[in-house]
Amino acid sequence: MNEPSFVIERHPRLRILIPMVVAIAFLMEQLDSTIITTAIPDMARNLATTPVRMNLAVTAYVLALAVFIPLSGWFADRYGARRMFVCALGLFTAGSVLCGLAQDFAMLVATRVLQGIGGAMMTPVGRLILLRSFPRRELVTAMTYMTLPAIIGPVVGPLLGGFFTTYSSWRWIFYVNVPFGLIGILLALRYMEEVPGDRTVSFDFAGFAMFGCGVAMLQLAMEMTGRQTLPGAAVLALFAAAAILLLAFARYARSVATPVVDLTLFRQRSFAIGTIAGGLCRVGMNGSPYLVPLMLQVGFGLSPIVSGSITFLGSAGAILIRLFIGALLRICGFRSVLGASAAIACVALAGYALIGPHTPHGLIVAYVIAFGLVRSTQYMSSNTLAYADVPHAQLSRATSLGGLIQQLTVSFGVSLAALLLGVVSPHGQMLTPARFHAVFLMMAALPLLALPGFLRLRPEDGAQVSGYRR
């Protein structure tokens, strides 16, 4: 009898252990995107700088993520996925320790870049290991473990950052990664199988220079749009330069055998719709973790701890939907689930305009949890669809490109929400509840724009994964 081809079939206990290790890595990477925000004032005082300059520590991390994510697929193909995952965990953990030990602002920025490089390798390679460990029919279960940290991390990060800063020291927002990183390394070495790398795979230096610089400029332009720290002309110039470089790369990629980013993946309908239409929908929903706490505190006058507690409860939706998403996709299929969740997301975002300072807190909590259910359904379904029909040989490149698009949608969602807030409250006018309501109504249009993409899906798209039979 032939030995099962998937490791979780040979060793059933790995059905839990492998997703758990990957989920730990994803949660660390997601937490560190936001955990620093509430600690910025204390960090600025301790490192003898200003809170405005401290934003560079956030930007440095997300820039490193965006630039180096495309490299993850090549490194996994050449040196082996498990080896690269362990190295990335080690780099991220070491970067966390050095961030906590930072004695000045320059050292903090440099070590945040180191952290970002580790995170850029860690998440796509972890996703690749997950995809290679499970057969297609069980991919929905595996992908929910991968998606949960991406939903919970941005919500939990500010709450944890505030807790450590208030009751201990800001340095613990970095030290908290150390035990998780070490446990992840030990479990990965013990339980993950290594797929031998192909040392003949060449690296596309020219493509990486073009694509990396283009993505860096795009990410930087989005970050500066949200923070409004650069003149409008400079931000537009960054967007223009990014567009030129990325278009040049798209033309260049057609002339080389193994470009650093495989754009031919967009010819696959499931991947294209899962990443592009799903990404557009996520941009609209990714503004909510930024807008809701700000509206509760600035617009409604709630304390940071009450606001943080309310938004934290929104992550309960992500945990609840994990129990039902497999059955939902099996009964309805990707087309119906994604189309319906996009339409409901539009209504749910617009519904925030009905919440005011006098709305009972219990009702706000219930609404935030309900929105979390919709948001989680959309995230998990679109992420699973993106890799459902990708050939095994292209999985490493698909996880790199998919991970990059996911990172950009997070940044663009927050930046767009901040930009719209600036538009509705020019010249530093007070952020009243009505102004927040106007921004929610504008953000609600984005999931509707994604709807035509989801409706292009066919019944057979992702059916091997969902188990859907018309």
Q: Which CATH class is domain 262-470?
A: mainly alpha
3 state SS for 68-134? HCCHHHHHHHHHCHHHHHHHHHHHHHHHHHHHHHCCCHHHHHHHHHHHHHHHHHHHHHHHHHHHHHC
Model pTM above 0.85: no
Residue 2 pLDDT grade (very low, low, confident, very high; cuts 50, 70, 90)? very low
**Do the domains at 1-202 and 262-470 have one common CATH topology?**
yes
- The token duo for 14 is 């790995």
CA distances from 143 to 123, 131, 179, 195, 450 (A): 13, 8, 24, 20, 21
pLDDT of residue 3: 44
pLDDT at 156 > cutoff 80: no
Domain spans of the chain, in order of start? 1-202, 204-259, 262-470
How far apart CA 2 and CA 180 sit, in angstroms, is 37
Architecture of the domain whose range is 1-202: Up-down Bundle (1.20)
CA angle at 196 for the pair 195 and 198, rounded to the nearest 5° = 125
pLDDT single digits (tens) 32-65:
776 776 677 778 888 888 776 777 787 788 888 8
pLDDT single digits (tens) 342-365:
999 999 999 999 999 999 988 998
Instruction: State the alpha helices, DSSP H only, in 315-467.
Output: 316-322, 325-351, 361-388, 395-424, 433-443, 445-455, 463-466
pLDDT of residue 89: 94
pLDDT of residue 294: 81
pLDDT of residue 37: 67
pLDDT of residue 429: 72
When pLDDT is averaged across residues 401-420 and rounded to a whole number, the result is: 85
> Is there a contact between 90 and 181 (Cβ–Cβ < 8 Å)?
yes
Nearest to 302 by CA among 436, 208, 195: 436
Which stretch of 134-148, 246-260, 361-375 has the lowest confidence by average pLDDT? 134-148
When comparing pLDDT for 458 and 15, which is higher? Answer: 458
When pLDDT is averaged across residues 241-255 and rounded to a whole number, the result is: 93
Sign of the CA dihedral with 181 first, then 184, 190, and 192 last: negative
Return mean pLDDT, the chain.
85
When pLDDT is averaged across residues 415-439 and rounded to a whole number, the result is: 84
How far apart CA 280 and CA 448 sit, in angstroms, is 9
pLDDT at 174 > cutoff 70: yes
Scanning the structure block, which residue is given the tokens 């039979």?
469
Q: Which residues of 62-95 are buried (b: 16+ CB within 10 A; e: fewer)?
A: bbbbbbbbbbbbbbbbbbbbbbbbbbbbbbbbbb
pLDDT single digits (tens) 58-96:
778 888 888 898 888 888 888 888 999 999 999 999 999
When pLDDT is averaged across residues 404-412 and rounded to a whole number, the result is: 84
Which stretch of 265-269, 312-316, 441-445 has the lowest confidence by average pLDDT? 312-316
When pLDDT is averaged across residues 325-334 and rounded to a whole number, the result is: 89
Percent of the chain at pLDDT > 70 equals 91
How far apart CA 86 and CA 409 sit, in angstroms, is 27
- The token duo for 72 is 């993850």
pLDDT of residue 147: 67
pLDDT at 280 > cutoff 60: yes
Scanning the structure block, which residue is given the tokens 């790995």?
14
The DSSP secondary-structure symbol of 48 reads T
> Is there a contact between 281 and 450 (Cβ–Cβ < 8 Å)?
yes
Residue 1 pLDDT grade (very low, low, confident, very high; cuts 50, 70, 90)? very low
